[in-house]
A and B are shown apart, each in its own frame.
Chain A
Amino acid sequence: MSTQLSAPVNRQTVSALSQSKGEPAWLEEVRTKGAELAETLEWPTPEKVRISRWNLTAIGNHKAEAAIAAVDELPETVRELAGQDQAGLVVQRNSASVLRKLSPELAAKGVIFTDLETAAREHSDLVKQYLFSAVPQDENKLTALHSAIWNGGVFLYVPKNVEVELPLQALFISDDATAAFAPRVLLVADNHSRVTYVDNVVSSYGEASAPITKQTIIEVIVKPGAHVRYATVHNMSENLVDLTIRRAVVENDGRIEWIIGDLHDGHTLSDTQSLMKGNGSSSDAKVISIGSGAQQMSLTTGAVHFGRSTESNMVTRAVMKEQATAIINGITKIEKGATKAGGFQTEKVLMLSPKARGDANPILLIDEDDVKAGHAASVGQVNPEQVYYLMSRGISRAEAERLIIYGFLAPVVSEIPVDAVREQLQRLLERKLEG
């Protein structure tokens, strides 16, 4: 049923595009290899969600974008997302990066914050060293295809011992549903550095836009003792399929914190994993999602413990409206040798309509004896006793249900450490719950 015309992805087209952008030879080689791999590999097969039925091949065509000088030149609806006082900002519009800013203070400390295409040219060795080190290109058709077609994106490098106080921000905007939109993010936090990165993924189309699939792959490299906080909010219209893979590799005593708002209106594959390779490393993941309309979602959080004394915590809370479906997987894997590891997870789904569906699947895979692990999962509807109690104090049914639903999400929302993200998430929650 696809009405989208995407140019074929093959060796020749990928190579030609890479050359036209003046990319280094190694990158062109990687891209062409990705195009070849994509022909033979299969799409990922998450539990109980058949993503192969989605419009996965409608990936759009590469289009050049004019650079902008300031956020003011963006559509009004997305302008406010850029916030104020950010230490750095990278903006991607459709197929290309259009704005890059970094405070001179951070640049002087050696922080690199730019789009990944520019970084691949200007910091080729650094990018080459880490690109694909968390998400290899040959895992499946998605990782392969993305390795061939990715555009714009973000590269962040924080040197040893540098602490970045203010959040660095990125905006990924799709406002042309015929243009390819496939950002790739690579964050490298060197030893004992500290950084918070926040991105917003939004769309702004006219009426009834053609279907399009956006692929995003995020790699985070947390070197020994470093601390990375990654907050992301996805909020796009329903014609867009959102395939996102996020993965962190955490070395000794490093820490990754994920804060994820999956508030997208279309089909969603959201897979977030932390690989705790180093001893004493830790991971915390908080995911909030609202499903509406006929959207299908596969939301997975994973924590893989390799190192000793590693700690992970994962919390997902989802509210499903109308006929929305969410399959929520939490996978805690503790490898042999990861002694004194602790892994905990909670998945909760609140269903607001009899046609909504939510499955919570907590999975513990444990190959080591000396560990602690736990999970909790629940799927339910708004409790009529609670509604009665609130109404008995004069609160209308609609308001009572609203309080209960926000209350369900509050324990996660209130823990979000970045004020601006928390407030923005709250606004979007309201829009999606009440809109």
Chain B
Amino acid sequence: MATHFKIDGLRAAIDGKEILKGLSLEIKGGEVHAIMGPNGTGKSTLASSLMGHPKYEVTDGEVVLNGEDVLEMAVDERARAGLFLAMQYPSEISGVTNSDFLRSAINARREEGKEISLIKFIRQMEGKMKELEMNPEFAHRYLNEGFSGGEKKRNEILQMMMLDPSIVILDEIDSGLDIDALKIVANGVNAMRSEDRGFLIITHYQRLLDYIKPDFVHVMMQGRIVKSGGPELAERLESEGYDWVKEELGIVDETVGQV
């Protein structure tokens, strides 16, 4: 079935404060959407709400992935349904090696008795790590523990590659990356582009979009999408900033709730 992801009128709050104020977006397999916007406009809240972070409460709206109601699902069910969020600040988990964690994640998608063989898993993991120019040693390190910012981001992309999701959300994957690391991460994402996979890229900067070409660009302000366009919109934002958008729409303060 062709991937189809639809967000309709999504409202979400944290600690009783509404951050998302009726956001709608539709992503089909093969499409790359970018969401841009200044700090504090609700971009990361969108990512966390879609994944089901326990601190965010969805108060209204619908999220449907391939006909299934995402908001009814627990976090792990959303992941197994095909949703993947590359996080801005991935957790560090002591005592759990990267490879044990990834193998558990892969096996969670398989039936009991049909777990991935160790050899096949190792071969896959080593191959993907090589593509991302990761030191093979990282397979045996504890999950994200002591990783630099860039290493954590690469590790997120490694997980994406291994888990083969149908909708990928990248939350500020470019923050903290130098240009070489950015290219490696972008290459990893581009290698995953396919007709059955949709991408939602959340970023402050045009820079990432030089390497991952979006089909659609959306501007987020005040907890909703206020303007949409093609790649040329990102270029104009890069050269002229956000003020013209605010002026055009009569927005004084683009932020929402807390920053």
Contacts and interface: CB of A to CB of B under 8 A. Distances in A.
B105 A395 contact: yes
B95 A409 contact: yes
Contacts of A407: 93-96, 142
Interface stretch (A30-38, A132-140, A361-369, A398-406): A398-406
Interface string B62-90: 00000000000011101110000101001
B105 A388 contact: no
Contact of B53 (A383, A388, A394, A397): A388
A395 B76 contact: yes
B101 interface: yes
B151 to A, nearest CB: 16
B124 interface: no
A205 interface: no
A386 B93 contact: yes
B208 interface: no
A390 B90 CA distance: 10
A130 interface: no
A423 B85 CA distance: 36
A393 interface: yes
A393 B95 contact: no
Contact of A390 (B80, B101, B109): B101
A106 interface: no
A43 interface: no
Given A386-B93, A399-B108, A391 B100 contact: no
B46 interface: no
B49 interface: no
Given A388-B54, A407-B142, A393 B94 contact: no
B163 interface: yes
Interface in A210-254: none
B105 A383 contact: no
A411 B94 CA distance: 8
A396 B76 contact: yes
Contacts of A395: 76, 79, 101, 104-105, 108
Contacts of B100: 403
B85 A390 contact: no
Interface string B95-124: 110001110110011000000000000000
A362 B102 CA distance: 36
A34 to B, nearest CB: 44
Interface string A105-143: 000000000000000000000000000000000000000
Most buried by B among A386, A396, A404, A407: A407
Contacts of B163: 393-394
A60 to B, nearest CB: 40
Contacts of B95: 404, 406-411
A385 B104 contact: no
A408 B74 contact: no
Contacts of A435: none
B167 to A, nearest CB: 13
Contact of A403 (B85, B104, B109, B159): B104
A385, A393, A404, A410: which has the most chain B beta carbons within 10 Å? Answer: A393
A315 to B, nearest CB: 13
Contacts of A399: 104, 108
B74 A397 contact: yes
A391 B74 contact: yes
A388 B79 CA distance: 11
Contact of B79 (A385, A393, A408): A393
A408 B109 CA distance: 25
Interface in A408-423: 408-411
Contacts of B104: 390, 395, 399, 403
B157 to A, nearest CB: 13
Which 10 residue pairs of A and B lie closest in terms of their CB atoms, listed nearest first? A407-B95, A410-B95, A394-B79, A389-B91, A407-B96, A393-B105, A391-B75, A391-B76, A394-B108, A394-B80
22 contacts: A384-B54, A386-B93, A388-B52, A389-B87, A389-B91, A389-B93, A390-B91, A391-B74, A391-B75, A393-B101, A393-B159, A394-B108, A394-B109, A397-B74, A399-B104, A403-B101, A407-B94, A407-B95, A407-B142, A408-B95, A409-B95, A410-B95
Interface of A: 383-386, 388-397, 399-400, 403-404, 406-411
Given A386-B93, A390-B105, 15 more contacts: A384-B54, A388-B75, A388-B91, A391-B74, A392-B52, A392-B87, A393-B108, A393-B159, A395-B108, A399-B104, A403-B100, A407-B94, A407-B96, A408-B94, A410-B94
